[in-house]
Structure 1
Protein backbone atom coordinates (compact mmCIF):
# COMPACT_ATOMS: atom_id res chain seq x y z
CA UNK A 1 0.00 0.00 0.00
CA UNK A 2 1.39 3.40 -1.02
CA UNK A 3 1.24 6.12 1.65
CA UNK A 4 1.60 9.90 1.98
CA UNK A 5 2.20 12.18 4.93
CA UNK A 6 -0.32 14.77 6.12
CA UNK A 7 1.89 17.54 4.74
CA UNK A 8 2.15 15.91 1.30
CA UNK A 9 -1.59 15.31 1.25
CA UNK A 10 -2.40 18.90 2.22
CA UNK A 11 -0.09 20.19 -0.53
CA UNK A 12 -1.63 17.99 -3.23
CA UNK A 13 -5.21 18.84 -2.23
CA UNK A 14 -4.48 22.51 -1.65
CA UNK A 15 -5.86 22.50 1.88
CA UNK A 16 -4.54 22.90 5.43
CA UNK A 17 -3.27 20.06 7.62
CA UNK A 18 -6.31 20.61 9.84
CA UNK A 19 -8.58 20.08 6.81
CA UNK A 20 -6.75 16.82 6.09
CA UNK A 21 -7.40 15.64 9.65
CA UNK A 22 -11.11 16.47 9.26
CA UNK A 23 -11.19 14.51 5.99
CA UNK A 24 -9.74 11.53 7.84
CA UNK A 25 -12.48 11.86 10.47
CA UNK A 26 -15.27 11.86 7.89
CA UNK A 27 -13.75 8.97 5.97
CA UNK A 28 -12.98 10.97 2.85
CA UNK A 29 -9.33 10.02 3.35
CA UNK A 30 -8.13 6.62 4.58
CA UNK A 31 -5.44 6.47 7.26
CA UNK A 32 -2.91 3.77 6.36
CA UNK A 33 -0.58 3.84 9.34
CA UNK A 34 1.66 5.95 11.57
CA UNK A 35 5.37 6.71 11.68
CA UNK A 36 6.21 8.03 15.12
CA UNK A 37 3.72 10.84 15.60
CA UNK A 38 3.13 11.31 11.88
CA UNK A 39 -0.10 10.04 10.30
CA UNK A 40 0.31 8.20 7.01
CA UNK A 41 -2.54 8.36 4.48
CA UNK A 42 -3.45 5.89 1.76
CA UNK A 43 -2.32 7.42 -1.54
CA UNK A 44 -5.26 6.05 -3.53
CA UNK A 45 -7.72 7.79 -1.20
CA UNK A 46 -5.79 11.05 -1.61
CA UNK A 47 -6.00 10.85 -5.39
CA UNK A 48 -9.72 10.00 -5.22
CA UNK A 49 -10.29 13.05 -3.03
CA UNK A 50 -8.28 15.16 -5.48
CA UNK A 51 -10.40 13.99 -8.41
CA UNK A 52 -13.64 14.38 -6.48
CA UNK A 53 -12.66 17.87 -5.34
CA UNK A 54 -12.80 19.04 -8.93
CA UNK A 55 -16.49 18.24 -9.09
CA UNK A 56 -18.71 21.15 -8.18
CA UNK A 57 -20.97 21.23 -5.18
CA UNK A 58 -20.79 22.04 -1.51
CA UNK A 59 -20.91 18.92 0.66
CA UNK A 60 -24.36 18.05 1.96
CA UNK A 61 -25.14 18.31 5.65
CA UNK A 62 -25.69 14.99 7.41
CA UNK A 63 -29.46 15.41 7.25
CA UNK A 64 -29.47 16.22 3.53
CA UNK A 65 -27.05 13.38 2.74
CA UNK A 66 -29.29 10.87 4.51
CA UNK A 67 -32.40 12.26 2.87
CA UNK A 68 -30.75 11.73 -0.53
CA UNK A 69 -29.78 8.16 0.37
CA UNK A 70 -33.29 7.47 1.65
CA UNK A 71 -34.88 8.80 -1.56
CA UNK A 72 -32.57 6.65 -3.69
CA UNK A 73 -33.49 3.62 -1.58
CA UNK A 74 -37.23 4.20 -1.90
CA UNK A 75 -37.58 5.17 1.76
CA UNK A 76 -39.09 8.23 3.42
CA UNK A 77 -37.01 11.15 4.70
CA UNK A 78 -39.39 12.67 7.22
CA UNK A 79 -36.77 15.03 8.67
CA UNK A 80 -36.89 17.32 5.58
CA UNK A 81 -39.81 19.47 4.45
CA UNK A 82 -41.77 18.69 1.28
CA UNK A 83 -40.13 21.58 -0.58
CA UNK A 84 -36.65 20.48 0.49
CA UNK A 85 -37.35 16.95 -0.67
CA UNK A 86 -38.64 18.19 -4.04
CA UNK A 87 -35.47 20.23 -4.62
CA UNK A 88 -33.31 17.30 -3.57
CA UNK A 89 -35.08 14.98 -6.00
CA UNK A 90 -34.48 17.48 -8.78
CA UNK A 91 -30.80 17.58 -7.88
CA UNK A 92 -30.45 13.81 -7.76
CA UNK A 93 -31.88 13.55 -11.26
CA UNK A 94 -28.75 15.14 -12.71
CA UNK A 95 -26.03 13.71 -10.47
CA UNK A 96 -23.69 10.80 -11.11
CA UNK A 97 -22.77 8.15 -8.54
CA UNK A 98 -19.35 9.75 -8.06
CA UNK A 99 -20.98 13.12 -7.36
CA UNK A 100 -23.44 11.67 -4.83
CA UNK A 101 -20.57 9.85 -3.13
CA UNK A 102 -18.65 13.12 -2.89
CA UNK A 103 -21.60 15.23 -1.72
CA UNK A 104 -22.53 12.67 0.98
CA UNK A 105 -19.06 12.67 2.59
CA UNK A 106 -20.39 14.27 5.79
CA UNK A 107 -22.94 11.49 6.37
CA UNK A 108 -21.01 10.16 9.39
CA UNK A 109 -17.86 10.42 11.48
CA UNK A 110 -15.66 7.34 11.04
CA UNK A 111 -13.76 5.41 13.74
CA UNK A 112 -11.64 2.34 12.97
CA UNK A 113 -10.49 -0.32 15.42
CA UNK A 114 -9.13 -3.83 15.60
CA UNK A 115 -10.75 -6.54 17.71
CA UNK A 116 -11.30 -10.27 17.93
CA UNK A 117 -14.26 -12.26 16.64
CA UNK A 118 -16.02 -12.29 20.03
CA UNK A 119 -15.84 -8.48 20.15
CA UNK A 120 -17.19 -8.24 16.61
CA UNK A 121 -20.06 -10.52 17.55
CA UNK A 122 -21.03 -8.29 20.47
CA UNK A 123 -20.79 -5.11 18.43
CA UNK A 124 -22.73 -6.55 15.49
CA UNK A 125 -25.82 -6.78 17.69
CA UNK A 126 -25.73 -3.04 18.37
CA UNK A 127 -24.71 -1.68 14.95
CA UNK A 128 -26.74 -1.12 11.80
CA UNK A 129 -24.44 -3.09 9.50
CA UNK A 130 -23.30 -1.50 6.24
CA UNK A 131 -20.60 -1.50 3.57
CA UNK A 132 -18.25 -4.48 3.60
CA UNK A 133 -19.87 -5.70 6.82
CA UNK A 134 -23.21 -6.06 5.05
CA UNK A 135 -21.64 -8.59 2.67
CA UNK A 136 -21.95 -11.21 5.41
CA UNK A 137 -25.56 -11.47 4.19
CA UNK A 138 -25.36 -13.66 1.05
CA UNK A 139 -28.57 -12.21 -0.40
CA UNK A 140 -27.29 -8.66 -0.09
CA UNK A 141 -23.83 -9.64 -1.33
CA UNK A 142 -25.44 -11.19 -4.41
CA UNK A 143 -27.45 -8.00 -5.02
CA UNK A 144 -24.14 -6.17 -5.31
CA UNK A 145 -22.55 -8.92 -7.39
CA UNK A 146 -20.02 -9.75 -4.68
CA UNK A 147 -19.05 -12.84 -2.72
CA UNK A 148 -20.50 -13.17 0.78
CA UNK A 149 -18.33 -13.02 3.88
CA UNK A 150 -16.05 -9.97 3.91
CA UNK A 151 -14.75 -10.74 7.42
CA UNK A 152 -15.03 -7.10 8.40
CA UNK A 153 -17.50 -5.44 10.76
CA UNK A 154 -18.75 -2.10 9.50
CA UNK A 155 -21.82 -0.35 10.81
CA UNK A 156 -23.65 2.80 11.91
CA UNK A 157 -24.39 3.96 15.43
CA UNK A 158 -25.38 7.11 17.27
CA UNK A 159 -22.65 9.65 18.17
CA UNK A 160 -20.71 8.60 21.25
CA UNK A 161 -21.14 4.86 20.66
CA UNK A 162 -17.58 4.19 19.49
CA UNK A 163 -15.83 5.81 22.42
CA UNK A 164 -18.04 4.16 25.00
CA UNK A 165 -17.70 0.65 23.57
CA UNK A 166 -14.00 1.02 22.83
CA UNK A 167 -13.41 1.46 26.54
CA UNK A 168 -15.77 -1.34 27.53
CA UNK A 169 -14.44 -3.90 25.05
CA UNK A 170 -10.80 -2.84 24.98
CA UNK A 171 -10.80 -1.97 21.28
CA UNK A 172 -7.52 -0.77 19.83
CA UNK A 173 -7.56 2.12 17.36
CA UNK A 174 -6.06 0.88 14.12
CA UNK A 175 -5.98 2.81 10.79
CA UNK A 176 -6.32 -0.46 8.86
CA UNK A 177 -8.42 -2.31 11.46
CA UNK A 178 -11.30 -4.63 10.65
CA UNK A 179 -13.92 -2.83 12.76
CA UNK A 180 -15.27 0.39 11.25
CA UNK A 181 -17.90 2.36 13.17
CA UNK A 182 -19.70 5.25 11.46
CA UNK A 183 -21.39 7.63 13.91
CA UNK A 184 -24.49 9.72 13.17
CA UNK A 185 -25.68 12.82 14.95
CA UNK A 186 -29.31 11.71 14.59
CA UNK A 187 -30.95 8.30 14.23
CA UNK A 188 -34.05 8.71 12.04
CA UNK A 189 -32.36 7.20 8.93
CA UNK A 190 -31.61 3.98 10.81
CA UNK A 191 -34.98 3.37 12.44
CA UNK A 192 -35.70 -0.33 12.23
CA UNK A 193 -31.99 -1.16 12.32
CA UNK A 194 -31.64 -1.36 8.55
CA UNK A 195 -29.25 0.73 6.46
CA UNK A 196 -30.71 2.05 3.16
CA UNK A 197 -29.24 0.24 0.17
CA UNK A 198 -27.93 3.53 -1.26
CA UNK A 199 -25.96 4.11 1.95
CA UNK A 200 -24.44 0.62 1.69
CA UNK A 201 -23.47 1.49 -1.89
CA UNK A 202 -21.70 4.76 -0.98
CA UNK A 203 -19.99 3.02 1.94
CA UNK A 204 -18.66 0.36 -0.44
CA UNK A 205 -17.35 3.19 -2.62
CA UNK A 206 -15.07 4.09 0.33
CA UNK A 207 -13.48 0.63 0.25
CA UNK A 208 -9.77 0.17 -0.40
CA UNK A 209 -10.71 -2.73 -2.68
CA UNK A 210 -11.40 -1.94 -6.33
CA UNK A 211 -14.08 -4.60 -6.74
CA UNK A 212 -16.09 -3.34 -3.77
CA UNK A 213 -15.78 0.29 -4.94
CA UNK A 214 -16.93 -0.72 -8.42
CA UNK A 215 -19.90 -2.70 -7.07
CA UNK A 216 -20.99 0.22 -4.91
CA UNK A 217 -20.72 2.62 -7.83
CA UNK A 218 -22.71 0.35 -10.15
CA UNK A 219 -25.51 -0.06 -7.62
CA UNK A 220 -25.67 3.67 -6.94
CA UNK A 221 -25.80 4.45 -10.67
CA UNK A 222 -28.69 2.00 -11.04
CA UNK A 223 -30.57 3.68 -8.18
CA UNK A 224 -29.97 7.13 -9.70
CA UNK A 225 -31.22 5.93 -13.09
CA UNK A 226 -34.44 4.78 -11.42
CA UNK A 227 -35.23 8.28 -10.04
Structure 2
Protein backbone atom coordinates (compact mmCIF):
# COMPACT_ATOMS: atom_id res chain seq x y z
CA UNK A 1 0.00 0.00 0.00
CA UNK A 2 3.03 2.31 0.17
CA UNK A 3 2.48 5.20 -2.25
CA UNK A 4 5.31 7.64 -2.88
CA UNK A 5 3.60 9.92 -5.38
CA UNK A 6 0.35 11.87 -5.62
CA UNK A 7 -1.57 13.22 -8.56
CA UNK A 8 -1.97 16.98 -8.83
CA UNK A 9 -5.59 16.62 -7.75
CA UNK A 10 -4.67 14.55 -4.68
CA UNK A 11 -1.96 17.03 -3.67
CA UNK A 12 -4.42 19.90 -4.09
CA UNK A 13 -6.94 18.14 -1.86
CA UNK A 14 -4.38 17.60 0.91
CA UNK A 15 -3.13 21.18 0.73
CA UNK A 16 -6.58 22.73 0.49
CA UNK A 17 -5.77 24.58 -2.74
CA UNK A 18 -6.80 24.22 -6.36
CA UNK A 19 -4.81 22.12 -8.86
CA UNK A 20 -3.53 25.24 -10.60
CA UNK A 21 -1.83 26.34 -7.37
CA UNK A 22 -0.15 22.94 -7.08
CA UNK A 23 1.26 23.31 -10.60
CA UNK A 24 2.60 26.76 -9.69
CA UNK A 25 4.24 25.37 -6.55
CA UNK A 26 5.86 22.62 -8.63
CA UNK A 27 7.27 25.16 -11.06
CA UNK A 28 8.49 27.48 -8.28
CA UNK A 29 10.07 24.68 -6.24
CA UNK A 30 7.57 24.86 -3.39
CA UNK A 31 6.75 21.23 -4.13
CA UNK A 32 8.85 18.55 -5.79
CA UNK A 33 7.71 16.02 -8.35
CA UNK A 34 8.36 14.61 -11.77
CA UNK A 35 6.58 14.52 -15.09
CA UNK A 36 5.45 11.17 -16.43
CA UNK A 37 4.20 11.83 -19.91
CA UNK A 38 1.93 14.85 -19.70
CA UNK A 39 1.11 14.38 -16.01
CA UNK A 40 2.84 15.51 -12.83
CA UNK A 41 3.51 13.03 -10.03
CA UNK A 42 3.94 15.06 -6.83
CA UNK A 43 6.32 13.84 -4.14
CA UNK A 44 4.19 12.99 -1.08
CA UNK A 45 6.96 13.97 1.35
CA UNK A 46 7.20 17.45 -0.14
CA UNK A 47 3.44 17.87 0.36
CA UNK A 48 3.81 16.77 3.97
CA UNK A 49 6.70 19.19 4.54
CA UNK A 50 4.70 22.07 3.12
CA UNK A 51 1.75 21.20 5.35
CA UNK A 52 4.09 21.25 8.36
CA UNK A 53 5.33 24.71 7.43
CA UNK A 54 1.78 26.03 7.04
CA UNK A 55 0.58 24.38 10.24
CA UNK A 56 3.58 25.72 12.17
CA UNK A 57 2.10 29.16 11.74
CA UNK A 58 -0.72 28.04 14.04
CA UNK A 59 1.56 27.76 17.06
CA UNK A 60 3.97 25.37 18.70
CA UNK A 61 3.27 21.67 18.82
CA UNK A 62 1.92 20.28 22.09
CA UNK A 63 4.22 18.67 24.62
CA UNK A 64 3.83 14.91 24.84
CA UNK A 65 1.96 15.23 28.12
CA UNK A 66 -0.46 17.77 26.63
CA UNK A 67 -0.86 15.86 23.36
CA UNK A 68 -2.08 12.75 25.15
CA UNK A 69 -4.19 14.94 27.40
CA UNK A 70 -5.88 16.44 24.34
CA UNK A 71 -6.52 12.98 22.93
CA UNK A 72 -8.05 11.81 26.19
CA UNK A 73 -10.24 14.92 26.47
CA UNK A 74 -11.69 14.45 23.00
CA UNK A 75 -12.64 10.88 23.91
CA UNK A 76 -14.29 11.97 27.14
CA UNK A 77 -11.63 10.38 29.36
CA UNK A 78 -10.45 11.65 32.71
CA UNK A 79 -7.13 13.52 32.66
CA UNK A 80 -5.92 13.58 36.28
CA UNK A 81 -2.40 14.62 35.20
CA UNK A 82 -3.76 17.97 33.95
CA UNK A 83 -4.77 20.87 36.17
CA UNK A 84 -8.24 22.29 35.54
CA UNK A 85 -6.67 25.42 34.03
CA UNK A 86 -4.65 23.24 31.61
CA UNK A 87 -7.77 21.37 30.56
CA UNK A 88 -9.56 24.65 29.88
CA UNK A 89 -6.66 25.97 27.78
CA UNK A 90 -6.45 22.72 25.82
CA UNK A 91 -10.17 22.70 25.06
CA UNK A 92 -9.99 26.33 23.98
CA UNK A 93 -7.03 25.66 21.70
CA UNK A 94 -8.65 22.59 20.16
CA UNK A 95 -11.87 24.45 19.54
CA UNK A 96 -10.33 27.66 18.25
CA UNK A 97 -9.13 26.05 15.01
CA UNK A 98 -11.86 23.41 14.63
CA UNK A 99 -13.06 24.87 11.33
CA UNK A 100 -9.57 24.98 9.82
CA UNK A 101 -7.54 22.30 8.08
CA UNK A 102 -6.85 19.04 9.87
CA UNK A 103 -3.11 19.44 9.39
CA UNK A 104 -3.06 22.04 12.17
CA UNK A 105 -3.91 19.22 14.58
CA UNK A 106 -1.44 16.88 12.94
CA UNK A 107 1.25 19.50 13.65
CA UNK A 108 0.17 19.96 17.26
CA UNK A 109 0.35 16.19 17.92
CA UNK A 110 3.75 15.59 16.34
CA UNK A 111 5.53 15.02 19.69
CA UNK A 112 3.21 12.19 20.77
CA UNK A 113 5.90 9.51 20.25
CA UNK A 114 8.92 8.58 18.19
CA UNK A 115 8.19 6.42 15.16
CA UNK A 116 10.04 3.89 13.02
CA UNK A 117 8.79 1.84 10.08
CA UNK A 118 9.69 -1.86 9.99
CA UNK A 119 9.10 -4.89 7.81
CA UNK A 120 7.24 -7.74 9.54
CA UNK A 121 6.16 -11.11 8.17
CA UNK A 122 2.45 -11.08 7.38
CA UNK A 123 1.96 -14.30 9.34
CA UNK A 124 3.25 -12.58 12.50
CA UNK A 125 0.96 -9.53 12.45
CA UNK A 126 -1.96 -11.03 14.38
CA UNK A 127 0.36 -12.33 17.10
CA UNK A 128 2.09 -8.95 17.35
CA UNK A 129 -1.23 -7.11 17.72
CA UNK A 130 -2.20 -9.51 20.52
CA UNK A 131 1.08 -8.96 22.42
CA UNK A 132 0.49 -7.68 25.95
CA UNK A 133 2.70 -4.63 25.34
CA UNK A 134 0.92 -3.46 22.19
CA UNK A 135 -1.78 -0.83 21.81
CA UNK A 136 -3.25 -0.51 18.32
CA UNK A 137 -3.50 2.67 16.29
CA UNK A 138 -3.86 3.80 12.69
CA UNK A 139 -4.78 0.94 10.41
CA UNK A 140 -4.75 -1.47 13.38
CA UNK A 141 -7.49 0.57 15.09
CA UNK A 142 -9.61 0.93 11.95
CA UNK A 143 -11.83 -2.10 12.59
CA UNK A 144 -12.54 -1.39 16.30
CA UNK A 145 -13.38 2.21 15.45
CA UNK A 146 -15.37 1.19 12.34
CA UNK A 147 -13.42 3.38 9.92
CA UNK A 148 -14.04 1.33 6.81
CA UNK A 149 -10.40 0.36 6.29
CA UNK A 150 -8.88 -3.09 6.36
CA UNK A 151 -5.33 -4.04 5.44
CA UNK A 152 -4.39 -7.48 6.74
CA UNK A 153 -0.79 -7.08 5.57
CA UNK A 154 -0.05 -3.97 7.65
CA UNK A 155 -0.03 -2.84 11.27
CA UNK A 156 0.45 0.30 13.35
CA UNK A 157 1.08 0.11 17.09
CA UNK A 158 2.26 1.95 20.20
CA UNK A 159 4.61 0.43 22.76
CA UNK A 160 6.61 1.69 25.72
CA UNK A 161 10.32 2.34 25.46
CA UNK A 162 11.21 -0.72 27.53
CA UNK A 163 9.31 -3.06 25.16
CA UNK A 164 10.41 -1.88 21.73
CA UNK A 165 13.70 -3.78 21.62
CA UNK A 166 11.99 -7.00 22.72
CA UNK A 167 9.44 -6.77 19.92
CA UNK A 168 12.13 -6.08 17.33
CA UNK A 169 14.00 -9.20 18.45
CA UNK A 170 11.04 -11.54 18.95
CA UNK A 171 9.29 -10.69 15.69
CA UNK A 172 12.45 -10.32 13.58
CA UNK A 173 11.55 -6.76 12.62
CA UNK A 174 13.72 -5.18 9.94
CA UNK A 175 13.83 -1.40 9.69
CA UNK A 176 12.60 -0.29 6.27
CA UNK A 177 11.27 2.99 4.86
CA UNK A 178 8.69 0.93 2.96
CA UNK A 179 7.93 -1.46 5.77
CA UNK A 180 4.43 -2.67 6.58
CA UNK A 181 4.63 -1.90 10.32
CA UNK A 182 4.68 1.54 11.92
CA UNK A 183 6.06 1.24 15.45
CA UNK A 184 5.46 4.25 17.69
CA UNK A 185 7.59 4.27 20.84
CA UNK A 186 6.30 6.25 23.83
CA UNK A 187 9.63 6.48 25.60
CA UNK A 188 8.94 9.26 28.12
CA UNK A 189 8.57 6.75 30.95
CA UNK A 190 5.01 7.95 31.57
CA UNK A 191 3.28 5.29 29.41
CA UNK A 192 0.79 7.80 28.03
CA UNK A 193 -0.39 5.28 25.44
CA UNK A 194 -1.25 2.90 28.28
CA UNK A 195 -2.86 5.50 30.52
CA UNK A 196 -5.23 6.55 27.73
CA UNK A 197 -5.89 3.10 26.25
CA UNK A 198 -9.45 2.23 25.32
CA UNK A 199 -10.69 -1.32 24.78
CA UNK A 200 -13.05 -1.33 21.81
CA UNK A 201 -14.57 -4.65 20.74
CA UNK A 202 -11.94 -6.39 22.84
CA UNK A 203 -9.01 -4.60 21.18
CA UNK A 204 -6.75 -2.18 23.13
CA UNK A 205 -6.47 1.00 21.06
CA UNK A 206 -5.23 4.55 21.56
CA UNK A 207 -7.71 7.48 21.61
CA UNK A 208 -9.27 8.54 18.33
CA UNK A 209 -7.31 11.79 18.00
CA UNK A 210 -4.08 9.78 17.98
CA UNK A 211 -5.56 7.28 15.51
CA UNK A 212 -6.65 10.15 13.26
CA UNK A 213 -3.26 11.86 13.10
CA UNK A 214 -1.52 8.51 12.57
CA UNK A 215 -3.82 7.87 9.60
CA UNK A 216 -3.15 11.39 8.33
CA UNK A 217 0.56 10.58 8.28
CA UNK A 218 -0.01 7.70 5.86
CA UNK A 219 1.27 8.16 2.29
CA UNK A 220 -1.82 6.27 1.09
CA UNK A 221 -4.55 8.69 0.00
CA UNK A 222 -7.50 6.56 1.15
CA UNK A 223 -5.96 6.00 4.57
CA UNK A 224 -5.08 9.67 5.01
CA UNK A 225 -8.61 10.67 3.98
CA UNK A 226 -10.06 8.34 6.62
CA UNK A 227 -7.92 10.09 9.23
CA UNK A 228 -9.16 13.50 8.10
CA UNK A 229 -12.77 12.29 8.28
CA UNK A 230 -12.32 10.88 11.78
CA UNK A 231 -10.68 14.08 13.02
CA UNK A 232 -13.46 16.23 11.58
CA UNK A 233 -16.02 14.04 13.34
CA UNK A 234 -14.24 14.55 16.66
CA UNK A 235 -13.97 18.30 16.22
CA UNK A 236 -17.58 18.60 15.07
CA UNK A 237 -18.74 16.73 18.17
CA UNK A 238 -16.66 19.01 20.38
CA UNK A 239 -17.84 22.28 18.83
CA UNK A 240 -21.48 21.18 18.92
CA UNK A 241 -21.33 19.99 22.51
CA UNK A 242 -22.04 16.36 21.71
CA UNK A 243 -20.62 13.41 23.61
CA UNK A 244 -17.12 12.82 22.23
CA UNK A 245 -16.95 9.20 23.24
CA UNK A 246 -17.13 6.64 20.44
Normalising by the residue count of structure 1, what TM-score does the alignment of the two structures yield?
A: 0.73
Aligned-pair distance for 1:54? 2.1
Equivalent pair of 2:141/2:211 in contact (CA under 8 Å):
yes
Aligned-pair distance for 1:190? 2.6
- Secondary structure of 1:208's aligned partner: coil
From 172, 175, 179, give the equivalent of 1:173: 175
From 131, 137, 141, give the equivalent of 2:138: 131
| CA–CA distance in structure 2, aligned partners of residues 204 and 188 of structure 1 | 19
- Secondary structure of 2:205's aligned partner: coil
Structure 1: give runs of 5+ residues left out of the alignment.
4-41
Deviations 1:154-192 (A, max 9, x none): 111111422232123321111111111111122244345
| CA–CA distance in structure 2, aligned partners of residues 103 and 45 of structure 1 | 18
Deviations 1:109-131 (A, max 9, x none): 10211121343233212311110
Question: Which of the pair has more CA radius of gyration?
Answer: 2
From 141, 145, 154, give the equivalent of 1:140: 145
- Residue in 2 that maps onto 1:51: 51
| Correspondence list, 1:1-227, <5 A | 2=4, 43-55=43-55, 56-96=58-98, 97-126=102-131, 127-135=134-142, 137=143, 140-141=145-146, 144=147, 146-184=148-186, 185=188, 186-191=190-195, 192=197, 193-227=204-238
- Residue in 2 that maps onto 1:7: none
| CA–CA distance in structure 1, aligned partners of residues 43 and 81 of structure 2 | 37
| Structure 1, 84-93 or 179-188: larger mean CA deviation | 179-188
Aligned-pair distance for 1:203? 0.9
| CA–CA distance in structure 2, aligned partners of residues 88 and 147 of structure 1 | 30
Structure 2: give runs of 5+ residues left out of the alignment.
6-41, 198-203, 239-246
Aligned-pair distance for 1:76? 2.0
| CA–CA distance in structure 2, aligned partners of residues 219 and 70 of structure 1 | 15
Equivalent pair of 1:69/1:196 in contact (CA under 8 Å):
yes
CA RMSD of aligned residues (A): 2.1
| CA–CA distance in structure 1, aligned partners of residues 4 and 44 of structure 2 | 8
| CA–CA distance in structure 2, aligned partners of residues 165 and 147 of structure 1 | 25
Bigger helix fraction: 1
Normalising by the residue count of structure 2, what TM-score does the alignment of the two structures yield?
A: 0.68
